[in-house]
Structure 1
């Protein structure tokens, strides 16, 4: 009996090899069939019989506008069924000569820069109309003409300072309440955790709405609505998997996830602020900056809430404040220098998924720390904290919506 095992193993090797070859064959056959079908479609062109002389479907999306001393530069992306050629460009109803880079027809999904030596007027609105060789027209409006920020140390430093004021500073101020909050009892703890859930729930709804709005402005080929939903779901699932890899996150680990979710949201928010600032669509005055600061102070309290039962070192608070607020600086830089609606929508969707993951974890942490499981969710302190968190974020959001 002992000598039978080696013989069985030796006999099974050819069988396993044949099974592997058979599986590989069934993998190659459908791919080969697909390749033959595509080749026949391209060579035989059976769709030519359906042609009725109608022009191809054309679509053009305006992704970026740069205003400088030598005129206007526009980044356009083609989304038609065939390559499209730009024949003429109008500015305020008058035709202007233009140069295109790269030259020639723009393929589906490709981009091109259009440069017009137009003497734009500071503070004025200008209407641009692009005409293709088929006669199709695509309009773009410059609501307020202002010079586009340049890549110099002064402008980047100013944007960094603004990002710190609207992102890092309010989060740090909110975290300064940590010592005063350490003495709260069970009801106080429930109130603070529910407050965190409330502010995060508002951020989730706000980020999702903004992501879908920006997705509608992007080129159709990006399938903006589906992109937002899939990115948010992927972000949520990946962070849930990472967060529970070593058990349910509590204390400092949970605070890090809260700061990460808020940071991803602030990145998308910074992109929107930077783009609006560059386009002159929003005047970032003192009142608006103060509104952003008030709006974000509660985020620092929410980050501190899971750590009330521990005594983390000071550097931990510094790191959490930078993680939550620092991305606003990066967002401002990218938004003012290289804005595109699809990327802003993508970052906001990722942030929304991260925030949803934190909402789930904080709610679970609240039920565990209270000891009454789901009954803790209907306790007066919990309901009050949830209401205060949502209400505060909603009211302060009125100050920053322009």
Structure 2
């Protein structure tokens, strides 16, 4: 078939592609202009929903960011703090359309250490509440604050991973049972991180605006992350050696990004629970991550630059998470980051398990050996026990 025959066929295919879309556009236009649903209007007010995403306490009062997710635009008419009506300023002003956010500022003389309740009332009479359990001044951002958060991210993410990788020379002499133990331990700690990330993602998703469909977002983001990384990782066959270590570091890094978001959000909320004990707890909790990254390359001799690169990939996202979480914390974005991390970790678990089975030459039977089972149990148990230091 020459080009002259193909041209009419291409035009016809384009027409059949555009025609259904034109029909859909015409149907939507008719539905909007004809006011077909007007006959069903019995005076019931539209469905309204308002989510409180972030609250900042300062000497000027209380500022809170809200997001509307109702069926129609909604207007905030009144604001109460502790059951008392207060003047408020809304930025931007006017009705909030579906999905739109705005800041509500109330010059309320809040009391340090006390609990306060903010209540908004719309022009239809719908009310929405938000509780501040313990009122403390929200930290302000400055170069000094960002430097402090960077140092904290280094202690939480980079230091423990680098300490774990320092075990690399000592671990090179382990035999096959020792390798099996370390790889299984990696699977165990990754399994704990995956469940922990998924649980936190679902919890944060439940706090987000209904428009984001938090629970579904977590599932689909995890699935997409898993499938994309599986496709990338299997382009040239199952990953081994340095490639597998890189995927482990990437999965851990995405989890640490979500962990950093949570810590940053706690700082933005003025949480007083992030003390030295908690920082040390995070460091101890994450040490095995470095050992897990080193496990697939114990039989290799990577260049020295490989180790700081893997450390930055696994631990560096904690710093980025701290910055983002303290500057623009919102539950839906933290949930999204954690769900992507959970999907990435699942991909790594499958690849490490597959590598473990292949490296022994026994297939799936190797997964039931004493060294593998003990390593798996140790990995989960260590992460569970050290998590007691960081859960508040």
The TM-score bracket by the shorter chain reads over 0.9
Q: CA deviation at 1:123?
A: 2.1
Aligned to 1:33: 23
Moved more, 309-318 or 171-180: 309-318
**Is 1:89 aligned to 2:79, yes or no?**
yes
Gaps of 5+ in 1: 1-8
Output the aligned Cα RMSD: 1.1
Matched residues in 1 for 2:5 and 2:19: separation? 21
Question: 1:40-119 counterparts in 2 under 5 A?
Answer: 40-119=30-109
Tell me which of 211, 229, 253 is aligned to 2:243: 253
Matched residues in 2 for 1:101 and 1:122: separation? 26
Tell me which of 156, 159, 167 is aligned to 2:157: 167
Tell me which of 194, 200, 204 is aligned to 1:204: 194
Per-residue Cα deviation, 1:13-45 (whole angstroms, up to 9, x for no partner): 443222212211111111111111111111111
**Is 1:278 aligned to 2:268, yes or no?**
yes
Asked if the contact 2:139/2:270 (under 8 Å) is kept, the reply is: no
Question: 1:175-214 counterparts in 2 under 5 A?
Answer: 175-214=165-204
Asked if the contact 1:165/1:293 (under 8 Å) is kept, the reply is: yes
Q: CA deviation at 1:187?
A: 0.5
Secondary structure of the 1:217 match is: coil
Matched residues in 2 for 1:306 and 1:40: separation? 62
Matched residues in 2 for 1:165 and 1:122: separation? 30
Matched residues in 2 for 1:281 and 1:49: separation? 52
Q: CA deviation at 1:286?
A: 1.7
Secondary structure of the 1:114 match is: strand
Q: TM-score, normalised by structure 2?
A: 0.98
Matched residues in 1 for 2:109 and 2:75: separation? 25
Q: TM-score, normalised by structure 1?
A: 0.95
Matched residues in 2 for 1:111 and 1:224: separation? 17
Aligned to 2:297: 307
Matched residues in 2 for 1:93 and 1:314: separation? 63
Tell me which of 140, 153, 158 is aligned to 2:130: 140
Per-residue Cα deviation, 1:227-281 (whole angstroms, up to 9, x for no partner): 1111111111111111122222111111111111000000001111111222134
Per-residue Cα deviation, 1:289-341 (whole angstroms, up to 9, x for no partner): 12111110110100000010012232211111111111111111111111000
Aligned to 1:5: none
Aligned to 1:3: none
Asked if the contact 1:149/1:337 (under 8 Å) is kept, the reply is: no
Secondary structure of the 1:67 match is: strand
Aligned to 1:6: none
Matched residues in 2 for 1:174 and 1:308: separation? 13
Aligned to 2:229: 239
Q: CA deviation at 1:75?
A: 0.9
Number of matched residues?
392
Matched residues in 1 for 2:374 and 2:365: separation? 15
Matched residues in 2 for 1:65 and 1:58: separation? 21
Asked if the contact 2:157/2:286 (under 8 Å) is kept, the reply is: yes
Aligned to 2:7: 17
Asked if the contact 2:55/2:64 (under 8 Å) is kept, the reply is: yes
Larger radius of gyration: 1
Secondary structure of the 1:129 match is: strand
Per-residue Cα deviation, 1:121-140 (whole angstroms, up to 9, x for no partner): 22222110011011110001
Q: CA deviation at 1:64?
A: 1.1
**Is 1:363 aligned to 2:353, yes or no?**
yes
Tell me which of 317, 323, 330 is aligned to 1:340: 330
Per-residue Cα deviation, 1:122-166 (whole angstroms, up to 9, x for no partner): 222211001101111000111222222222111111111111111
Matched residues in 1 for 2:165 and 2:4: separation? 66
